[in-house]
Every structure is written in C-alpha cells, then in structure tokens.
Chains A and B, each alone.
Chain A
Amino acid sequence: MRALRVLAATLILIPVAAAQPQPPRGNSTAQAPRTSPAARTAPAAADELQKAVEEFRVQATRLGLTEGPATAQRRDTKGKSRWHGRLFENLRNDFLDAVPHEVAQRGGSKNILRRNQFGFNVSGPVLIPKLYDGGRATFFTFTYEGMREKIGRSSLRTIATTAERTGDWSATVDSAGAALPIYDPQTTAPNPGYDPGQDVSTSNLEYNRVPFAGNVIPASRLDRAAQSAMALYPTPNSDAGPFFRNNYFVFTPEINSANGIIARVDHTAGERHRIGSGVNFSNGQDGASPLFLNEANPGAPVRSRRNRRAFVEHIFTLSPQRINTFTVDAYSSQLENLPEAGSESVFPAYLFSPYLGMGRSTTVLKNARNQFIVSNGHSIRWKQHRVRLNGRFIREQVNIYAPAYPEGMFRFGAGLTSLPGINNTGHAFASFLLGQAEYAEKSVVLSPSYFRRSRFNFGFADTWEIRKGLVFSVSVGLEVSEPRKEKYDRQSTVSFAALNPANNRPGALIVAGVNGQGRAFQPFVTRGEPSAGLTWNPFGAAKTVVRLGYGRSYSAIPIYSVQWGTQAFNGSPTWVAANPQLQPALTLAQGLPESPRTFPDLRPDSANNTVADLIEPRGIQPTYQSFSLSFERELPGAFLFTLGLGHAGGRNLLLGSGSSNPNAIPLSALEYGVQLNDENFNRSVRPFPQYQRFDVYASWPEGRYQRDACSLRVEKRASSGLALSASYEFSKQMDNYSGPYGIQDYYNRANEKAITAGSNPHAFTVTYSYELPMGPNRLLFPLTDWRRYLVEGWSLSGVTTIVSGEPLALRPQFNNTGRVVDTLHVNVVPGADPHVSSRSPELWFNPAAFAQPADFTLGDASRTHPTLRGPGAQNHDLSVNKRISLSLEKSVEFSMVGLNFVNHANWSDPDTMIGPASAPNVNAGRIIGSRGGRVIQLGLRFSF
C-alpha cells in the first residue's frame, strides 16, 4: 500500500486515491502453495500472463496513465515536493593551504585567504498556485551562485636601490657581478680616431663619452619631474638577490566578488513541440592586488565584469524521421576598468626596464562585446542516410573605449647613459633620473569605437551506413564572413596600394568611406569546410572499432576588444629619439608637447612617423587541417583500449606584432652596423620608411604549425566501485612563431621553424573514482546501527597529470643589432655539448654551449632548442566526499577538494639568458626555486 502510494506519487505525480482497491503487494511467497518445485515451474501460463497484463492496465488506468502527449492538466497537491535542488557552500581559508614553495623559499609565510562560494539550485515543474501547474509539460531550473574572496597576493620584483634613486650607481653591478658604469650623455663627442671599417669596440669607439665621477649622477643633474615621481616609487624591502635584484617584495590583498544566476524553462507543447528558454546573468569584480598603494601603481587594474545571456529554442519533431531545431541566442559581456582606489588622477606610464616601472596602460577601459545568433538545424533520416542541414547567422558587436596612454607614456633606455655601442654599460633607470626618454607617446581617443560584423554558416552533413559495420560520414560547411565595419565608419588602415604624399612611396593612410574606400578594408570571405569520416568494425567485430577522420576548417578573424585600426580618429602621437644612444626623444622636464596632429586627421600622411595600424587587406583566414586514425577495442573485464594517431596542421595563423613585422629591416642591412642607431638612417632602410613599424594586432596571417601525436587510452568501467581511466600521449609540435621572446628572421620563416614553445611531448593522465566498500551491504564495516552513518557514503575522485618539460628558449642578454632584429637568438658554440651529465637545479644545461652573438650579427641557434627541455611537472588533485543520507530524497555531502594534495613542488624553468663572454650571466643554466603548493577547499552540499 505504502509502496504503491509512492509509485503513484512519483509515476504520475498525483495522489493515490486511497479508496481504490489495491493489488496484493509484498511477500507473496508467504501465500504460495507448497507444491513440488518441479510442478511450480509451469503455472497456468495464460492465466498468469493475463494477470500481469491486467495488473499493468489496472495500474495504468487507476493511476491515470494514458497514451498520448504530456499535459499540464494533472494536479498534485504536493507540487513543491516535486522540486529538487541543492544548497551549497564552499570554503577556502589559508589555514587549510600549504605555503607555496616559491613563497617558502624566500622565507615568506602564508598569504591571507578568505573565500566563500555559496548558492542554491532548484528545479522541477513550474507551479503557480491557483494559476498553473506545469506538471510534466513545463519544467524550470534556477541556480544562484555567489562568491566573496579576499586573497593576499605576493610579488617579488626588482626596483631601483635607495642609492640609485639618488643617482649613486657606485655599488651597482651587472648580471656577472662586475661594476656597471653610467656615462654622462652631456660629454658625448665623436671619436676622431674611429675606424668605420672595424666593429665598434672599446678600442674603436664611434663616440667618446665620460662616465659620471664615482659613478654618481650629481644631484643638480637629476630631472625634477623624475625626482617628484620618486615620491610615489617604493624603496627596496627585500634582498633576495642576486646583485640587488629581486629587492621588492609586495604583499597586498585582492578583493574579488561575483553574483550570478542561470534560469531556464522548458515547455512541451503536445508530443512534437518543445520550447526552451533561459537567461544567464553574472556581475563580478576582478580584484587586483596593487604593486604600489598610490596612483603610480603599475599593477593590473580592478575590473568590473557583467555577463548576460538569453536564448530561446524550439525543437519540432515533424516525424520520427525528421526533427527541426530553431534557436535564437543573445550574449553580452561587458568589462570596465575601475579607477585606482583613493586616487583621483591618472598617472602617466614611466617604463625603465629591467626595473619595475610606474603607471600602466589602459587605465580607462570600457568594453562591451555582444553576439546575436539565429540558427536552424534540420535532421532527416532517409534509408541508410542521416542528413543534417544547418544554417546560422551571427551578428557580432564590439563597443570599446580604451585609450592606452591618455596621460602619456615615457620609455627610457640604457643607451643614453651607456658608452655608445658598448654593451653592459648604462642603465634605463639612470636615463630616467636624467629625465631623458628615448620614446614617448600619448593616446588621443575622442570617442568609443563601435565595430560590427555578420557571418553566415551553412552546413550539410550526411552519415551513411554503407553496410553493417561500415559507416561513412561527410560534411560540407560554407562560411560567409563579412569584414569588420565601424558603425560611424571611424576606421582607417595603411594601404600599400596608395602612395604616401610625404615620400611618394607605397603606404598611405586610407579611411573607411572616404575617397571611394568602402566601409571595410577586407573583402567578404567565403570558405568551404569539408570533413569526412569512416567508422569500421573490422570483420564484423562490433566491439572493435576503427575510426578514420579528416577535416579542414577556417576561423574568422576576431574582432578584438581594442581600438586598433582607427588611427585617423584616435591616434597615438609618438616622439622617437633620433639616435637612442645619443639624444633623447624628449625630456621629462619638457613634458609631452602638444600633439602635432588634431583629430580626426584623415590625410594620407597623417600616420607617418608613428607605429601605424595595419589591417591585412586580403582577409586571409587561418586554415586548419587534421587527420586522425584510432583503434578501439573493448576487452573482457569492462576494459576499453584506444590507440590513436593524429596529425594536425595550420597555416595563415594570425600573429601579433612580436612575430610579424611587415616593416622589418632586411637582415642584409646589418652590414651597416652602428649607422643603424641613427633613426633617420634606420628608417631609410625599412620597406616603408614613413612608418616606425606596423601594429598588426594579432591579425597578420603568417603562422604555421604542425602537430603529430599518438596516444593510448585505457578505461575501466566501474568494478567494485572503482572507475579508472589512464591516457598517455606522445606528440611533437613545431611552428614558426611561438615563444616568449618573438622571432629573429621575419623574411624567411623557414629559419624560424622550431619546436613549439610550451609543448610537452609526453603527457600522462589518470582519472579515477572509487566508492569505498564500507557500510551496510558492503564488504567492510557492514554496520547497520548508528555507526553506519560514519562508515558509509565515502568516495574518492582524483586526477593525476604528469608531463615532460617544455623546450627551452635561450636568449642573449644583449641585442645590439640597431633594431634590425627584434628578438635575437643565441649562437651555438661548436663542439660544446649543451647537455650536462648530471642534470640538477644547480646546473640544468651547459650555458657554455651557447654564446652571445657579436654586435650586428644574427644568432645561429634555433628559436627553441630541439633537445633541451625544462623540468617536467606533475600534479595530483583529489576529492574526498562523505555523503550522509537523511532520507530517500535528502542528503548532505561533505567534500574536501585538494589541488596538488601531495604538496608537490615543480621546479621552475632554468635561467636561459646567455650573457657575453666578458660578463656571463652567473645564473644561466640554473634553476632558481620551485613552485606550487597544496590548496584545499571544503564543501558542504544539502541535496533535496
């Protein structure tokens, strides 16, 4: 009786009519006649079957089950009991975590951490008392999640020493520990004995320059603006070293918060229509721990984020063989930089690398990215074919206001305080103290940009079962992509087809909608995207599957959230030193002069002498191609074995300005030597001398990559509560662009082909879950009294990942190539083995196998080393859960999630900077410390 009531309530969600006669239920054996067993195996068959059928009918009729569509007419007086959901809280506290190894190694202690993540979810039939009972027809889910976090962030940086701040460089040394001389730029004079036929060296100087007496800049020479700025620049508080480096340890809190909901409603209208709709809403604040507690903070800004999404979906089942799906989806993501706390003014940016600078870029940012998608898919099953037709329209909007340096940016180099042409002399911060900037710019952004673009996708796919055990699938996609437009045509770029009036050479600014130029700078692009696959069960073995796949695809050029390509309307006037070793672009005392341009400036030469925004005119899209072959075999014991081979490649990958430079000086110009330090000469040997260089903003289609991999995966389905999956992959990936430092030869990318930076050839992953066999009905502690609550419901889940090291990218300490080469490679020392016999953090590789290239020469090593790799890494995450059942519907689960729960320390990569023979980097080849630490989160979830 009781069971039937439960059945009734859960099966059709109406109360059982207690007056109805109930069928017998329970221990029927007690009523069974005691006849001989043999006789009992053959009861009156027809009668018993008929009883079963009648019982089914009785249940169906009595419970109101009828064939046909789900309706909203059924009523349940206990409707809310049909709602399910959960309440949860996740807690993190520094009390639970280990001190990260990188912090412990410098004597630090735990950072403060207080984090609460909380929320609830509820789902079930829509129920509006006295108005509407959704029954089976209308279903909702609603989730709220909030997060509050205060976390201390620590950072170890290098800043000017107390003595250096006052101009005293007498104690300053280079990376080899040798004294670093600071020269007085006012004493610069041509060397009458200079021999242009010889390389510049200390014995053949092009310019003479005298060091400051005692290596101290006199107070009278210190720039007043720089001295004023020093009031906002911190003093050293750490001596981690070496050589006064890593002397600023900052520990400041970061405050983060977020609130969000996801709500969804599904409604079934009749048997054939289903309508789904939903909204997502999230507001958050990404905190940032400041590096300075004032307006000169160079750290990241605090950001406000708002995400919204709404969608409607209609699925129409026309027949068992035909289904149509129509979807409308709208998405909006908004981002805003918040002003520096306690500061009303915006500080300019002072950059004097290698020291930590002051101020930052993009102090003001407002960005909204919206996307609207309408799509329709139609699936048809016809004979042995399953055909799917897709159509999709995408409308993208990016509204962005992001002046990079509204108060100006000043960059200081070592050249002005160096002995011209001689490495390891001078310092950028010394140049800053003198107020002599080698480069400056200021952003002038009059209005936001409103970028727009539409795309259309059409697709046809067919899955054809040729015969049993052989399935062929093919698809053809067609993408039509409109180029980026600006709502008010406030776009510009450099066109190589236009002549610049300043020098009558190719390369002039063109503006959307002006002088016959269309609204966009790229054409409509139409691309076909084919793919094909074959699934074969060899020799009819259904548990053995061979899969073969091929695919070719393109990706649209993104609309980035920057005001790139609007230079005629929003410019960045720049000031560049005529020779960064001889004279400054301007001084801090002068400040930034008035911009030589007023905006908008639509003249063809208005971008001259700047870093000009360049939009690739052909609209070439990245192309991807892949092949795959896999062999799957199910083995006895619920094991699944999968062996896979894969090849993937891409070309026309979009690269940024660090990897692409259409205005690069040909490498043959290195023969000009020190002449290249002269800005006018330097510019004269560039393909487009009217521009310093081009900003292609991650959109220049020159990248290529290739990846080959084989993998092995073994899965074990649950057996005695244990499920296990292990996979191993060996791969090799090469490209012509990746890496932390950029490339050397822009004109011959074949020379840049090397192992992909960041790639791990060996990767091993194990995931597992295990329900501990404890408690009633289980192997261990089958207790049935109160102690069962202690022993039952325990489970473990874990993920272990072990990867080999990444290829090392070696770099020379100095790049004296007259800006012909942006990123110089090192030289390989012939005959020297880069590997060491006993690899350890003290010496991971042999730095003597590499050398700093001579001035105005290229390095001959590859961008990343083919065999040298950094240390491997491993990570072990574990979740321990304890479930306590409160009733059949309610339970509480405690969880403890541990990331890196064994508190394993992974070695950092070795120092890869190779200094000159005269002043080698003492840390080259050494690993300085390790990183990582156990992080624990406790969770509590109440499910109902």
Chain B
Amino acid sequence: MRVPFQAPGEPALKPEEVKITLNGKAARVVRLLAPGSDLFLLLVLDLSGDLTLVDPARQALLKRLAALPGNVRVALMRAQDGLRPALDPGAPRAALTAAIESLATSPRPGLLDSLENAQMLADSIAARAHVRVAALFISDSNVLNYQEDYSNPVVNSSDSGDMSRRFPEGLINEKIRQIKARMRHGESPLYLVHLQYLSDRLNTAYQTGLQELLRSSGGSAEYCRSLADIPNSVDRACDAILQAQYTAEVEMAPGKNGTVDLVVIAEGRTIHSRPRRQFSEKGR
C-alpha cells in the first residue's frame, strides 16, 4: 500500500523516523520515497477562460520547470474533452516549454472529468515504478462553463413557486461526492492551482468541494485571488510536491476490512496526510 503524505521542512525524513500505524497497529515501511527522490509529475492544464490569467500561469510554470532537477519527468496533459497527453514525458525540456507555450485554451473546462482518470493513471505508474507520482492541475475553470450542467438553470421562468433552486449547489455537491467515492481507493496525491477565486455561491461550493477532494487524495488546492498570486500559488504547489511530498510503501496484510485507520507520525515534524482511507480487496 502506498501512503502519500506531506512533511514540509528540512532535512528529509528518514524511514526510521516515520511511524505508520494501520488500524492502530504499527505497519512495516517497506520503502520511503522522500523529496529529492525520483518524481513523475502529471502536469494537467485545464485552461478554458481568461487569457489574462492563463499567461501568468504559463510563465510561472515555465520558470519553475526550467529549474526542475534531472530526476523529475513531466508528462504534459490537457483536460479538455477528456484527459489527453499533450507531450511525451521523455521529450526534452525545450519541447515541454514549447508545448506549454503553444497550448491553446478551450472554452469548456474538463477538470472534474479528469481528476479520477489522472489519479488512476498515476496509480498505475506508481505500481510499476518505485518513484513518487503526483498530478498537478492548473485550472481556471468556472462551474458554470462545464458541458455537463451543474448550475441547474431555470427551465420554466413562469414558475414563481420554484423552491428547488434555493440551494443551487446540490448538483455540484453530488458530482464531487461521486468523484470522491470513485477516488477513495486512489493512492496518488493530486494538487490544484486554481487561477481565479470566485466567490459566488455555486463556485464557492465547487471550489470547496475540489479542496476537500484533493485533500482526501493526500494533495492540496491553491486558489489565486489576484494575478500576482498566480506565480506564488504555482510555486507553493510545486514546492509541496518537490520538497514535501513523501510516499511510503507499507506492508499490509490482505483482509476484508474496508477501512484503514492510517496514522503517520514523525517526531518534531508537521505531517499532512489522509487520516483514514478506504481499502478493500475488491476495490483493488
């Protein structure tokens, strides 16, 4: 079982400093992949709107990618119309730069439809190679622009007694819960940099749901409140992956129990991890 967790700060934790308990019992850490170890990054761009936001995000990404160490591979993907690779991860960095610069926006966001697929892809890679795997989404998505309808627009404007839209966030909450349920077996952390914080009620529910979802994957979400915030947010997300993301491979006896009570402890360090996880032989 792979257990992603974040432990910011230096120096990197050693395996003997990490105590992991499963259902209250100490688990044997078979392998600990610490910051500085190999990293395979799925970089997913979901750019659907304002060019004002997209360009600073591109520049921030390019700057960060240029400084990546050699043991990091980046698979560039795009989220619109389904998750698709935009560049082979073995391509040289120059090609990656060119691909990011030339990637066009598309009006329909695809973030919600890509999260689960990206995590499954990441899990497959992590199962094959002993490297840290994470997915970083860069998105400017607005919940109102999805192809699928989450806004529940008024159908009959003459219906003055309609109470069903008093709480409009029901549909997006349902979608997030569905994704969360499908991702509960996932083992790879997802990160998001959302380029535009939107404070209307529907987008608040959307962004809050995303934040919960990504936290439950072991990752995190950053929301930008201004153009100046975009580079900082990209940096913070990259730092979290590169400098604080650990993956512990622990032994786990097969069993029928569907819930794993997971506790990660490192003396003197702050740990961010998923406290509980869903696990079942069937699910795996």
Asked whether A and B interact, the reply is yes
Mark A residues whose CB is within 8 Å of B: 3-4, 6-7, 10-13, 23-30, 32, 34, 37-38, 40-43, 45, 48-49, 51-53, 55-57, 59-60, 65-67, 70, 84, 86, 88, 90, 92, 115, 117, 119, 121, 123, 136-137, 139, 141, 143-145, 147, 149, 151, 256, 258-262, 266, 268, 271-272, 274, 280, 282, 284-286, 305, 307, 315, 317, 319-321, 323, 325, 379-381, 386, 463, 465, 468-471, 535, 537, 540, 542-543, 545, 632, 634, 640, 715, 717-718, 721, 723, 725, 767, 769, 776-778, 782, 784, 793, 795, 797, 799, 877, 879, 881, 883, 885, 888-889, 891, 893, 895, 897, 899, 935, 937, 939, 941, 943
CB nearest neighbor in B for A890: B178
- The CA-CA distance from A320 to B1 in the complex, in Å, is 41
Given contacts A315-B107, A535-B227, contact A885 B181 (CB under 8 A): yes
A–B pairs, 27, beta carbons within 8 Å: A7-B117, A26-B284, A45-B38, A48-B129, A49-B73, A51-B128, A51-B131, A52-B38, A52-B128, A52-B131, A52-B133, A53-B40, A56-B75, A56-B85, A59-B124, A67-B88, A70-B80, A139-B147, A268-B81, A284-B159, A320-B104, A542-B232, A777-B278, A778-B276, A883-B177, A889-B178, A943-B174
- Asked if A776 and B73 sit within 8 Å, CB to CB, the answer is no
Chain B neighbourhood of A463, CB < 8 A = 52
- Asked if A23 and B127 sit within 8 Å, CB to CB, the answer is yes
Chain B neighbourhood of A380, CB < 8 A = 51
Chain A neighbourhood of B15, CB < 8 A = 37-38, 40-41
Chain B neighbourhood of A261, CB < 8 A = 155
Interchain nearest-CB distance for A520 vs B (Å): 30
Chain B neighbourhood of A57, CB < 8 A = 88-90
Interchain nearest-CB distance for B231 vs A (Å): 8
Given contacts A284-B158, A286-B158, A381-B55, contact A48 B178 (CB under 8 A): no
* New A-B pairs, 17, CB < 8 Å, besides A30-B251, A286-B158, A769-B169: A3-B120, A12-B82, A25-B127, A27-B254, A41-B15, A49-B38, A56-B121, A57-B89, A136-B81, A321-B51, A542-B229, A767-B201, A769-B205, A877-B166, A879-B166, A885-B181, A889-B178
- Asked if B51 and A381 sit within 8 Å, CB to CB, the answer is yes
Mark B residues whose CB is within 8 Å of A: 1-2, 14-16, 29-34, 37-38, 40, 50-52, 54-56, 71, 73, 75, 80-90, 101-108, 116-117, 120-121, 123-125, 127-131, 133, 147-149, 153, 155-164, 166-167, 169-171, 173-174, 177-178, 181-182, 184-185, 199, 201, 204-205, 207-209, 211-212, 225-229, 231-233, 249-252, 254, 257-259, 276-278, 284
- Asked if B158 and A305 sit within 8 Å, CB to CB, the answer is yes
- The CA-CA distance from A609 to B148 in the complex, in Å, is 60
Chain B neighbourhood of A320, CB < 8 A = 54, 101-105
Q: Which of A41, A471, A723, A891 contacts B32 (CB 8 A)?
A: A41
- Asked if B124 and A145 sit within 8 Å, CB to CB, the answer is no
Chain A neighbourhood of B207, CB < 8 A = 717
Chain A neighbourhood of B34, CB < 8 A = 41
Chain B neighbourhood of A27, CB < 8 A = 1, 252, 254, 284
Q: Which of A7, A149, A386, A543 contacts B121 (CB 8 A)?
A: A7
Chain A neighbourhood of B71, CB < 8 A = 45, 49
Chain A neighbourhood of B73, CB < 8 A = 49, 52-53
- Asked if A777 and B52 sit within 8 Å, CB to CB, the answer is no
- Asked if A29 and B1 sit within 8 Å, CB to CB, the answer is yes
- Asked if B124 and A4 sit within 8 Å, CB to CB, the answer is yes
Given contacts A56-B125, A535-B227, contact A282 B158 (CB under 8 A): yes
- The CA-CA distance from A2 to B107 in the complex, in Å, is 34
- Asked if A32 and B30 sit within 8 Å, CB to CB, the answer is yes
Given contacts A25-B127, A27-B1, A40-B32, contact A282 B208 (CB under 8 A): no
Given contacts A60-B85, A145-B156, A897-B167, contact A10 B116 (CB under 8 A): yes
- The CA-CA distance from A889 to B159 in the complex, in Å, is 31
CB nearest neighbor in B for A58: B128
CB nearest neighbor in A for B182: A888
CB nearest neighbor in A for B83: A11
Chain B neighbourhood of A535, CB < 8 A = 226-227
Most buried by A among B86, B107, B133, B160: B107
- Asked if A11 and B155 sit within 8 Å, CB to CB, the answer is no
- The CA-CA distance from A472 to B96 in the complex, in Å, is 31
- Asked if B121 and A59 sit within 8 Å, CB to CB, the answer is yes
- Asked if B162 and A117 sit within 8 Å, CB to CB, the answer is yes
Q: Which of B31, B80, B159, B257 contacts A258 (CB 8 A)?
A: B159
- Asked if B32 and A141 sit within 8 Å, CB to CB, the answer is no
- Asked if B199 and A715 sit within 8 Å, CB to CB, the answer is yes
Interchain nearest-CB distance for A870 vs B (Å): 25
- Asked if B225 and A67 sit within 8 Å, CB to CB, the answer is no
Chain A neighbourhood of B166, CB < 8 A = 799, 877, 879, 897, 899
CB nearest neighbor in B for A306: B158
- Asked if B163 and A90 sit within 8 Å, CB to CB, the answer is yes
Interchain nearest-CB distance for A389 vs B (Å): 13
Chain A neighbourhood of B147, CB < 8 A = 123, 139, 141, 266
- Asked if B155 and A262 sit within 8 Å, CB to CB, the answer is yes
Chain A neighbourhood of B82, CB < 8 A = 11-13, 70, 136
- The CA-CA distance from A881 to B92 in the complex, in Å, is 51
CB nearest neighbor in A for B113: A10
Interchain nearest-CB distance for B14 vs A (Å): 7
- Asked if A42 and B226 sit within 8 Å, CB to CB, the answer is no
- The CA-CA distance from A24 to B258 in the complex, in Å, is 22
Chain B neighbourhood of A23, CB < 8 A = 124, 127-128
Q: Which of A49, A718, A889 contacts B211 (CB 8 A)?
A: A718
Chain B neighbourhood of A465, CB < 8 A = 52, 56, 227
Interchain nearest-CB distance for A489 vs B (Å): 33
- Asked if A29 and B249 sit within 8 Å, CB to CB, the answer is yes
- Asked if B40 and A471 sit within 8 Å, CB to CB, the answer is no
Interchain nearest-CB distance for B46 vs A (Å): 14
- Asked if B121 and A11 sit within 8 Å, CB to CB, the answer is yes
The 9 closest A-B pairs by CB, nearest first: A37-B15, A284-B158, A258-B156, A51-B129, A145-B155, A52-B129, A260-B155, A55-B128, A469-B228
- Asked if A721 and B212 sit within 8 Å, CB to CB, the answer is yes
Interchain nearest-CB distance for B166 vs A (Å): 6
Interchain nearest-CB distance for B254 vs A (Å): 7
- Asked if B228 and A537 sit within 8 Å, CB to CB, the answer is yes
CB nearest neighbor in A for B15: A37
Interchain nearest-CB distance for B168 vs A (Å): 10
Given contacts A30-B251, A48-B131, A320-B102, contact A53 B204 (CB under 8 A): no
Most buried by A among B124, B125, B252, B259: B124
- The CA-CA distance from A388 to B206 in the complex, in Å, is 28
Interchain nearest-CB distance for A674 vs B (Å): 48
- Asked if B50 and A386 sit within 8 Å, CB to CB, the answer is yes
CB nearest neighbor in B for A140: B147
Chain A neighbourhood of B116, CB < 8 A = 10
Chain A neighbourhood of B284, CB < 8 A = 3, 25-27
- The CA-CA distance from A795 to B81 in the complex, in Å, is 31
Q: Which of B50, B85, B117 contacts A10 (CB 8 A)?
A: B117
Chain B neighbourhood of A139, CB < 8 A = 147
- Asked if A717 and B208 sit within 8 Å, CB to CB, the answer is yes
Chain B neighbourhood of A37, CB < 8 A = 14-16, 29, 31-32
Interchain nearest-CB distance for B110 vs A (Å): 10
- The CA-CA distance from A149 to B105 in the complex, in Å, is 45
Interchain nearest-CB distance for A70 vs B (Å): 4
Chain B neighbourhood of A136, CB < 8 A = 81-82
- The CA-CA distance from A463 to B277 in the complex, in Å, is 45
- Asked if A53 and B156 sit within 8 Å, CB to CB, the answer is no
- The CA-CA distance from A230 to B52 in the complex, in Å, is 71
Chain B neighbourhood of A883, CB < 8 A = 174, 177
Chain B neighbourhood of A274, CB < 8 A = 106-108
- The CA-CA distance from A37 to B80 in the complex, in Å, is 42
Chain A neighbourhood of B155, CB < 8 A = 119, 143-145, 260-262, 280, 282
- The CA-CA distance from A877 to B201 in the complex, in Å, is 15
CB nearest neighbor in A for B284: A26
- The CA-CA distance from A665 to B125 in the complex, in Å, is 86
